[in-house]
Amino acid sequence: MESDLFDGAIAAVVVRDCLTDRVLYEQHADLLLRPASNAKLFTSAAAFLSLPRTYSMETTAGVLDSGRRVLRCSGGADPLLTVQDIQKLAEIAAPTIDSTLDTLYMDASLLNDNFYGSGWMWDDESDPFMPFLNAFSLEGNSIRISMKSPSKRGLPVEVSVFPSSNMITVENMLLSGRRTRIDVTKQPRSNNIVLRGTLAAGKRRTNTVSMWRPQDIVAEMLLDQLRQNGINVDSTVVVHSEGCGVPLALHSVGHDLKEVLAEMNKESDNLCAEMALRHLAVFRGAKSGVRDKDGLAAMTSVLARNGLDLDGLHLKDGSGISFYNLVTARCISDLLSMMSRHKDFQLYAATLAVGGRSGTLEGRMKDLSKGQMFWGKTGTISGVSALSGYAQAPQGRLVSVVMLMQNFAGKHKPYREVQDRIVRHCITYSAALKSVRKPQ
């Protein structure tokens, strides 16, 4: 490794032959370091090992026995809930409602009221990588801002947002100009967005910010969709409550475990990781007020039962956002080795990004030869770059590699380049263990 690049920085590396479980190379393997999104490897493994393959995260709606004028909608902590899902839920619930809906109960009691995780940074509130946590999610709990500049300079820029909601406001002060200099600000704890600056004439731009209180927007959309399905809801009162009665029949929309794990690992989706963590506790019997601590307790229990030594694992969330997370490279290596021996390992590996092909690794290692494979999980927060996964040459043995690099200032790119070179070497090494020198 380049000495100047790692002056003042830390690099922990463990390379292991998955067939023999022999460690081929290690450096600083037992240092407790921040894993960033490599924490998702533990969350996804625990979910994979404990939740049924048919497990689904569902949002439900059903009328109560009150003249069919009261509807209860219960949030199922589904991180992939979309606008189309809300439309579908309204369509299937509308025929069960009387001509007028008096009350809509929005039951968000499955999760507790802590909308951010322990050790999350308050000044990142507007960044979509730090999603609002609630039993009701919508479109990844993010707001997409689309901007289109006219061809003539000095004119207002056309702006639209998705999802569309009266609860999302945009103060647009953008003008078309010679250059693009855009400042996007979301006022704290709100969905009020301010746009300033210029967008180059004739150009388009898309920005994304986090969504505040998605449950309110879900309720608004559900009511709008019920109106479009012929239900009078003008007098409806939206109540966030639990214990409001048992529906006569439940209608649901949702997404299964396979979809959530793939989005979590391939795209490094933080909301999917946090909801999957909490569903570990739900599956164990938790009915309401589920906390991150409940999910973490369920996670460590599952991993310990499957033989993982937990001495090097100290997580405070399921996504890797928290700056309180600490993990050793050896612990990640042990996890990868354990999962490589699982009878459904290929299904687990399929949730990971693929070097040069998919997810967060699509733009990296594009020069891999035909048949050379790397399935991995990236990790990026300020001052931290991580990459862990499995390397394999055609007909070669499976080699796991863990790389945690941190305590640096500046760009992540040079550290990613070092990681990619190590991966290429491990792929080559996996094809001819006896004839190739040890990893450098």
Average pLDDT of the segment spanning 405-429:
95
Average pLDDT of the segment spanning 231-250:
80
DSSP string across 302-349: HHHHTT---TTEE-SSSSS--TT-EE-HHHHHHHHHHHHTSTTHHHHH
pLDDT above 70: percentage of residues in the chain = 96
Average pLDDT of the segment spanning 355-384:
96
* d(C-alpha 220, C-alpha 81), whole Å: 15
Q: Decide if pLDDT at 240 tops 80.
A: no
DSSP code, position 400: E
Q: Decide if pLDDT at 440 tops 60.
A: no
- If 0-12 CB within 10 Å is exposed, 13-18 middle and 19+ buried, where does residue 122 land? exposed
Average pLDDT of the segment spanning 328-350:
97
Q: What are phi and psi of 230, to 5 degrees?
A: 90, 10
Place of tokens 């919508």: 138
pLDDT above 90: percentage of residues in the chain = 88
What local confidence, expressed as pLDDT, does residue 415 receive?
97
Q: Decide if pLDDT at 5 tops 60.
A: yes
DSSP code, position 44: H
pLDDT digits (tens, 9 = 90+) for 129-160: 999 999 999 999 999 999 999 999 999 999 99
Q: Decide if pLDDT at 3 tops 70.
A: no
Q: Decide if pLDDT at 436 tops 70.
A: no
Question: Which pLDDT band holds residue 36 (cuts at 50, 70, 90)?
Answer: very high
Q: Pairing between strand 237-240 and 103-107?
A: parallel
The lowest-confidence range among 200-209, 240-249, 281-290, 299-308 is 240-249
- E strand or H helix that includes residue 355: none
- Burial per residue of 241-265, b for 16 or more beta-carbon CB atoms within 10 angstroms, e otherwise: eeebeebeeebbbbbbbebbbbbbb
Mean pLDDT (the chain, rounded) = 94
Length of the chain equals 440
* d(C-alpha 393, C-alpha 7), whole Å: 32
For the entire predicted model, the pTM comes to 0.94
* d(C-alpha 287, C-alpha 292), whole Å: 14
Average pLDDT of the segment spanning 414-423:
97
- Burial per residue of 412-439, b for 16 or more beta-carbon CB atoms within 10 angstroms, e otherwise: beebbebbbebbbbbbbbbbeeeeeeeb
Q: Decide if pLDDT at 235 tops 80.
A: no
Question: Which pLDDT band holds residue 439 (cuts at 50, 70, 90)?
Answer: very low
Question: Which pLDDT band holds residue 199 (cuts at 50, 70, 90)?
Answer: very high
Cβ partners under 8 Å of residue 76, min gap 6: 57, 58, 59, 60, 110, 135, 252, 254
Q: In 10 A of CB 232, how many CB atoms?
A: 15
What local confidence, expressed as pLDDT, does residue 238 receive?
83
What local confidence, expressed as pLDDT, does residue 249 receive?
82
Place of tokens 């409550």: 241
- E strand or H helix that includes residue 136: none
What local confidence, expressed as pLDDT, does residue 166 receive?
96
What local confidence, expressed as pLDDT, does residue 432 receive?
67
Angle at 333 between CA 328 and CA 337, to 5 degrees: 150
* d(C-alpha 402, C-alpha 423), whole Å: 10
Q: Decide if pLDDT at 241 tops 90.
A: no
User: Going from the N-terminus, what domains does the chain have, and what CATH number goes with each?
Assistant: 10-54+258-431 (3.40.710.10), 56-114+214-253 (3.50.80.20), 139-210 (no CATH)
Q: Decide if pLDDT at 229 tops 90.
A: yes
Residue 131: alpha-carbon gap to chain centroid: 9
How much of the chain is helix, strand and coil, in % rounded to 5? 30, 30, 45
93's tokens: 């619930």
